[in-house]
Structure 1
């Protein structure tokens, strides 16, 4: 069932007010007849023009809307670009958690509109398209059919649309305050650039994703192009190049990518000795773990959830640094970033048994159906058993809380995202590291 209707008048000439008014009236009348029981939200999208033209256009649109009392949720969205108008409508849809949208538009706009939608929406949304019925006996509404539905959009046109969207997103203000980066005192800042992000300073507006979400998924409502803008802002603040940024391809396992060698399809650890290359691991309860060897000048990042922790992804990343770059185990520094703490994290008893085998102190209320689990302690124990010096690991066991960066993500909704706390449409922060030039 259609939840929202978008009527695209963006490309129609503004000087044909009477014809467009009739066109819009007929379209709304058809929607009203089809929606007697479940009235959808209706958004009319048009170009915002300057001066008297703008005022006149809005007046005739409002005149066309009069008399449609049953379509109570009806809004005109005027903007200077299609990107701006469509992004505003996306915000309205997300506020109401709507996902099934009918787009009524001129045939010549359909393929272009699909490019905008592909960039601004994810697979969470479903779109269907219907032709806007132009008044056939009116010569004044004949629009140049220079492009027909089904034609492949030239790559330069796609690039122009992406550039238009990007410029609009760059113009948006940051939400929830300035972008904040947490840094460890263990990693020497004269050799490495590193940090752990918080949720502030980006443009993502959905409450559970707001505001500096750094991961896009087909199951969430934040598109890749918004995540890219958040990353650009992070890169500007932190001082790294977003074009040489490499995030692990999460598989919740223990494969490690060595930069410069064949890249696996999926991996939860990544290492390099190349200067200026930024490695990153996501976390929204799972641990983003950073590795630095100031002697061999190598670094790494790993994503360690409960499965990856049990599979030893952190030691797998350490071993990759040793084998690829000749690192000495005793020189490697390891920092565990914000992640769900033993105060909040529960797993079914069967999974808890595996942590109990590592060390009984990794499990609290072991005899319960869903014991509390300490994936950080388990990670430390496995690293120490592998040869990492205890003093070269920074986690939540440090006594100086001014140095603490291993906060519980679930306990701090103002600072961090949490899948455990927020559900399926959750945001993601990252840990990142690079070797300075």
Structure 2
């Protein structure tokens, strides 16, 4: 069932521009009569020329909109100077209403172009259908056609121009929820390493659970990769690293570790390097982003440690990779646990809680309940100490001076952090990152 209709009038033949009122009237009339695309939401996308003095798009097109009682309540005209700006505004309207199935009515010659824009600005959450707008023979009006021409690949230079237009537009957007904020640990020496943990502020992601500096895109979420890339660009600019030399773990909730410069595994939750200027990152939205630094051998690492990865020993696996690959002494390695869900909020089923109880009974609270509270941070510290990491070389929420604490509970601070536990499936993601300075 189509939930919205998008009429693309952005690039019309010159002979139709002077008759846009009649053109739009005919198009809306066809939509209203056509039950297959009956829907309460219609978005009309058109070009706003630079220097135009139009006071309002609805008023400008009002003659064409009169009489469409069924459509009037859900009809909006969106004018912008670029296709990106118009389409991104349409996406915001769709997201406000949680709409996902869209019929696009557009001139045949615009279809391949539009598909490139859609591929970049939307994710697999959305479903698009296309109808052709064709000029009727010997007429200055359009008709909706069921004809679907065979799509062709756009020339690479055209795709590059679209990508450039999208990038420029996203770069022009204001930051949301305040300035970009990076948390840093006093344990990691800043003369050797560049590092930090992100918060949710200072990006351009606008959906409530993703706003604003979301740093992960997937087919199941509404934030496209281009938006995440822009958020990362802003982070890199603020932090001082090169976003083109950025490597994030490929989360599998296990304990595999990638060695930079060697064959990359399909999935891994730890990553290490001794290369200067290469930034390693681990995501977290309740799971712990863990950073590792050896100032003696000048090596570093990052790990994603959820409850499964914690039990599987992903943090010590990352330490062991630094020892075996770069000759690190385990007593020189510094480990910092970033923002993650705390024992105040995090529960697991009793069977899973048993595994943490075996590590140390203090890792579990209300053990006899059906869903005990779990302290994955304490479990991580215990396993690291058992592996030879010095207690004073681990920073977590047990730090004495709370002004130095950066291991906040993500679920308890909705203004600062994303949380899967708190926000549900369409959650945002923050990261911990580290690199060796040149």
Q: Which TM-score applies when normalising by structure 2?
A: 0.95
Q: Deviations over 1:385-419 (max 9, x none)?
A: 00000000000011211000000000000000000
CA drift at 1:58? 6.6
CA contact (8 A) 2:297 2:327 kept: yes
Q: Deviations over 1:334-353 (max 9, x none)?
A: 00000000000011111111
Mean CA deviation greater in 319-328 or 26-35: 26-35
1:232 corresponds to: 233
Change (3 A) 1:436 1:258: same
Aligned length: 437
Residues 1:155 and 2:156 aligned together: yes
SS at match of 1:353: helix
CA contact (8 A) 2:256 2:267 kept: yes
CA contact (8 A) 2:133 2:145 kept: no
CA drift at 1:26? 2.3
Q: Which runs of 5+ in 2 are unaligned?
A: none
CA contact (8 A) 2:201 2:212 kept: yes
Q: Deviations over 1:361-403 (max 9, x none)?
A: 1111111111111000000000000000000000001121100
Change (3 A) 1:145 1:343: closer
CA drift at 1:23? 2.9
Change (3 A) 1:267 1:215: same
CA drift at 1:28? 1.3
Question: 2 CA distance for matches of 1:64 and 1:215?
Answer: 42
CA contact (8 A) 1:17 1:60 kept: no
CA contact (8 A) 1:292 1:300 kept: yes
Change (3 A) 1:224 1:54: same
Change (3 A) 1:387 1:326: same
Change (3 A) 1:339 1:34: same
CA drift at 1:331? 0.1
CA drift at 1:143? 15
Question: 2 CA distance for matches of 1:324 and 1:118?
Answer: 40
Residues 1:410 and 2:407 aligned together: no
SS at match of 1:143: strand
Question: 2 CA distance for matches of 1:52 and 1:202?
Answer: 30
Mean CA deviation greater in 147-156 or 224-233: 147-156
CA drift at 1:103? 0.3
Q: Which runs of 5+ in 1 are unaligned?
A: none
Q: Which TM-score applies when normalising by structure 1?
A: 0.95
CA contact (8 A) 2:105 2:144 kept: no
CA contact (8 A) 1:250 1:266 kept: yes
Question: 1 CA distance for matches of 2:36 and 2:224?
Answer: 33
CA contact (8 A) 2:5 2:37 kept: no
CA drift at 1:135? 2.6
Q: Deviations over 1:253-288 (max 9, x none)?
A: 000000001100100000000000000000000000
Mean CA deviation greater in 363-372 or 232-241: 363-372
Mean CA deviation greater in 46-55 or 341-350: 46-55
Mean CA deviation greater in 346-355 or 61-70: 61-70
CA contact (8 A) 1:330 1:388 kept: yes
